[in-house]
Amino acid sequence: MGEKRGMKALEAWCRNIASGYRDVRLDNMTTSWRDGLAFCAIIHHFRPDLIDFDSLSKENVFHNNNLAFTVAEQCLGIPALLDAEDMVTYKVPDKLSIMTYLSQLYKYFNGVEHSSINSPTKRSLEEKDPISALAEPPGKGINGQSITSEIFC
């Protein structure tokens, strides 16, 4: 059997990286990602300083996704192609969007040297996007769920 390529290779990479993480089971490339834990697991695997995985709860879908997408954007420079509110709203997230986002994580973490990995900086969400920061009360997200307002990179 030959080397896996394309989507199958990306799926295999994700399963390998996320294996062993509590409550993360990657059966598919849609609903398995909805609770946000798998995104957090991938980031945590490579950068455990950015996400406290043990503090996350499978039930807090908005928080998990918001944390992963915000950390990836602010600390890794990976644009948020997915929206935490959509992950809450839609029972089956868009497969193409998930695959595209995961390919960005793969590209970032596979073979790219990161000069900033040991130089932590602090950025607030308000500095990054002052308009969005006004849309919700400080520290609250969809349905009043608590969100992290400061990210340490």
Query: Are 151 and 123 spatial neighbours (Cβ–Cβ below 8 Å)?
Result: yes
Lowest mean pLDDT of 46-50, 59-63, 118-122, 139-143, name the range.
Answer: 118-122
Q: Which of 17-21, 46-50, 99-103, 138-142 has the lowest mean pLDDT?
A: 138-142
* Residues ≥6 apart with Cβ < 8 Å to 149: 124, 125, 126, 138, 139
**pLDDT value of residue 93:** 96
Q: What is the pLDDT of residue 152?
A: 73
Res. 121: pLDDT tops 80: no
Residue range 60-80: average pLDDT?
Answer: 97
Looking at every residue in the chain, the average pLDDT score rounds to 80
Question: Percent of the chain at pLDDT above 70?
Answer: 71
pTM score: 0.74
Cβ burial 68-80 (10 Å sphere, 16+ → b, else e): bbbbbbbbbebee
More confident residue, 74 or 127: 74
> Is the pLDDT assigned to residue 58 strictly greater than 50?
yes
